[in-house]
A and B are shown apart, each in its own frame.
Chain A
Amino acid sequence: MFLALLGTSVLVFFMIHMIPGDPALLIAGIEAGPEVVEQLRRDLGLDQPLYKQYWSFLIGALHGDFGTSIRMRVPVLEEILERLPYTLAIALGGTILATLFGITTGVIAAVNHNRLGDGLVMVIALLAASTPSYWLGLMLMLVFSLSLGWFPSIGIRTPAHYVLPIVTLAGQSGGIISRMTRSAMLDVLGQDYVRAARARGQRESVVIVRHALKNALIPVLSIVGLRFGNLLAGTVLVESVFAIPGVGRLLVDAVLWRDYPMIQGTMLFVAGVFVVVNTATDLLYGVVDPRIRVGAT
């Protein structure tokens, strides 16, 4: 995880520095005289060798200093933290909904293997996994807020505002988790101990929930962890659709405005959370399944 985080920081840092153009010139504006630009360059440390710049960027980032936004003239981290609650709420809500949907439908499909229920669930899951989230968002908005008026369409003021973005975000992952659960359940249902449980005369519901699902959940769990990171990145699209002032929207605006410190900060922040969550999932995997221990081999 440490390596991945370090690699990400190198990637983000050098990516920004590969951009043609002089950030000092950009900040100072076109009318600024050469001495002003030179001064700014010194202040920003841009006259230092690249590895020194990277070092101070890294040390700063570790201390929570991501620099100052060029456009908004506020510390990058402050702005991120201010917008984070919206993004986190949607991403968490989306993950929970996708997991509930995925596991329920996946189990239904596996239990009804090769029957109508299975086919139906798989069609829905595949459709959900193939639909672009921003378009799903627009269509949900069309049906549930513009036509039926059940939910507000844009903004994020009341709890009702969260419903459509969360459903939108959950769609793709819900489909993926559903397929995953189904195949894990099918694997487990063919195992001897499930047959043994049935032979002992256990009720079918007990067999499915206690014997099969419990074991099928292990691979599913790792997918859920991976999906959370993807959902976090997916907020970039969903926040644009629903005009939510979250971190995703912040990143897109920063790119459109060429606000480099902000791009660097948000990118590193989202990627960092993504990497940390994935590692946490790996560790949790070991807790749930004692056969797997990270670093044991």
Chain B
Amino acid sequence: MKSQALSRFRRNKVAVASGMVITGFVVMAIFAPWLAPFGPLEQDLTNNYARPSLENPLGTDELGRDTLSRLLYGSRVSLGIAVSSVIIGVFVGAVLGLVAAYSGGVVDSVIMRVMDVMLALPGILLGIAIVVVLGNGVINTVIAVAVFSVPTFARLVRGSALAVLQLDYIMASRGLGASGVRIVLAHVVPNSLTPLIVQSTLQLGVAILIASGLSFLGLGVQPPNPEWGAMLSKGRELVRSTPVAAFAPGMAITVLVLSFSLLGDGLRDALDPKLKHR
């Protein structure tokens, strides 16, 4: 069954290509110090707003920092925020969803109504609200994006948990004396895994967009940290003076987000052929 999914995935050239692109970004993030010609904070005020050259292939910004180097180091920040916030979101969301599905009744309604209210707010607004409370910075940006992801996962897990909980073998297992925790961990969680993996992949792209948007507004990751959105916060001046330096970070975001959504689609098709969309 697993190998079938793998061979289905391999046949999907687009998904494989996006997986490779993402791997490329991960490699960039890990080896940034060796790949980057300069440090991410290294300033050269005599060489600010420089056009692309051999020394600075993507030009420099207002403080004469090398755009290519900042872009490479920035992949650490952007990927790091996306991955950690989605992991937190999945974990908290899954716990809430499982508790809601297993308890039912009042607990279920209270948890899901709160999730509904959170989903009723547009993502960027919820992010801003959380940053207002916690303040800005890398950790708080992670928390803001994680909180935004929680309701999506809570709903997803609750839905698949409810579907599993009413199956006959759960009843059988309960009849054999299995505890609630055991039923959830041994039967419900493995059965919710496929949609969870697919949704997490898709959510990684969304997380990057929200985190970089917050940072662009000056509410998320703060300069001089080379987050891709924060690199564009001086956007207008940058566009006027060094268009390439403004082009590169946004292009990186677009490519990465696009890859995550194509990979997510590919994973869905491979893991769950029933859901295959055209």
A residues lining the B interface (CB < 8 Å): 3-4, 7-8, 11-12, 15-16, 18-19, 113, 126-127, 129-136, 138-139, 141-142, 146, 153-154, 183, 186, 229-230, 232-234, 236-237, 240-241, 243, 251-252, 255-256, 263, 267, 270-271, 274-275, 278
Cross-chain contact B216 with A134 (CB below 8 angstroms) = yes
Nearest residue, chain A, Cβ from B277? A183
CA–CA, A3 to B115, complex, Å? 12
CA–CA, A219 to B277, complex, Å? 16
Cross-chain contact A127 with B217 (CB below 8 angstroms) = no
CA–CA, A113 to B246, complex, Å? 36
**Chain A residues with CB below 8 A from B142, complex form:** none
Which 9 pairs of residues, A with B, have the shortest CB-CB distance? A135-B250, A233-B122, A7-B117, A130-B258, A130-B257, A4-B120, A138-B235, A131-B254, A142-B239
Main secondary structure, interface of B, reads: helix
Residue of A19, A132, A134 touching B132 (CB-CB under 8 A): A19
Number of interface residues of B (CB under 8 A): 45
**Chain A residues with CB below 8 A from B272, complex form:** none
Main secondary structure, interface of A, reads: helix
Cross-chain contact A236 with B129 (CB below 8 angstroms) = no
What are 6 sample pairs from A and B whose C-beta atoms fall under 8 A apart?
A3-B116, A130-B205, A139-B250, A186-B278, A240-B216, A255-B132
Cross-chain contact A135 with B249 (CB below 8 angstroms) = yes
CA–CA, A131 to B240, complex, Å? 21
Cross-chain contact A7 with B261 (CB below 8 angstroms) = no
Cross-chain contact B246 with A138 (CB below 8 angstroms) = yes
Cross-chain contact B121 with A274 (CB below 8 angstroms) = yes
B247 interface contact, C-beta 8 A: yes
**Interchain nearest-CB distance for B13 vs A (Å):** 13
Cross-chain contact A263 with B216 (CB below 8 angstroms) = no
B residues lining the A interface (CB < 8 Å): 113-114, 116-118, 120-125, 128-133, 205, 209, 212-213, 216-219, 229, 232, 235-236, 238-240, 243, 246-247, 249-250, 253-254, 257-258, 261-262, 277-278
**Chain A residues with CB below 8 A from B133, complex form:** 15-16, 18-19
Once A and B bind, how many residue pairs between them come within 8 Å at the CB atom?
141
**Chain A residues with CB below 8 A from B113, complex form:** 3, 7
Given contacts A15-B129, A130-B205, A255-B132, contact A142 B246 (CB under 8 A): yes
Nearest residue, chain B, Cβ from A18? B133
Given contacts A18-B133, A255-B128, A278-B120, contact A132 B236 (CB under 8 A): no
Residue of B117, B122, B212 touching A11 (CB-CB under 8 A): B117
Residue of B117, B123, B239 touching A8 (CB-CB under 8 A): B117
**Chain B residues with CB below 8 A from A16, complex form:** 132-133
Q: A135-B232, A271-B125 are in contact. List 7 more A-B contacts (CB 8 A).
A: A11-B117, A15-B129, A16-B132, A19-B133, A134-B213, A134-B216, A267-B128
CA–CA, A243 to B236, complex, Å? 10
Nearest residue, chain A, Cβ from B131? A255
Nearest residue, chain A, Cβ from B114? A7
Cross-chain contact B125 with A236 (CB below 8 angstroms) = yes
Given contacts A4-B117, A130-B205, contact A241 B213 (CB under 8 A): no
**Chain A residues with CB below 8 A from B118, complex form:** 11
CA–CA, A234 to B232, complex, Å? 17
Cross-chain contact A237 with B121 (CB below 8 angstroms) = no
**Chain A residues with CB below 8 A from B258, complex form:** 126-127, 130
Cross-chain contact B219 with A255 (CB below 8 angstroms) = yes
Cross-chain contact A237 with B243 (CB below 8 angstroms) = no
Cross-chain contact B247 with A139 (CB below 8 angstroms) = yes
Given contacts A15-B133, A237-B213, contact A229 B254 (CB under 8 A): no
Residue of B116, B128, B254 touching A132 (CB-CB under 8 A): B254
Cross-chain contact B121 with A138 (CB below 8 angstroms) = no
Given contacts A7-B117, A11-B117, A130-B261, contact A141 B253 (CB under 8 A): no
Cross-chain contact B122 with A126 (CB below 8 angstroms) = no
**Interchain nearest-CB distance for B259 vs A (Å):** 9
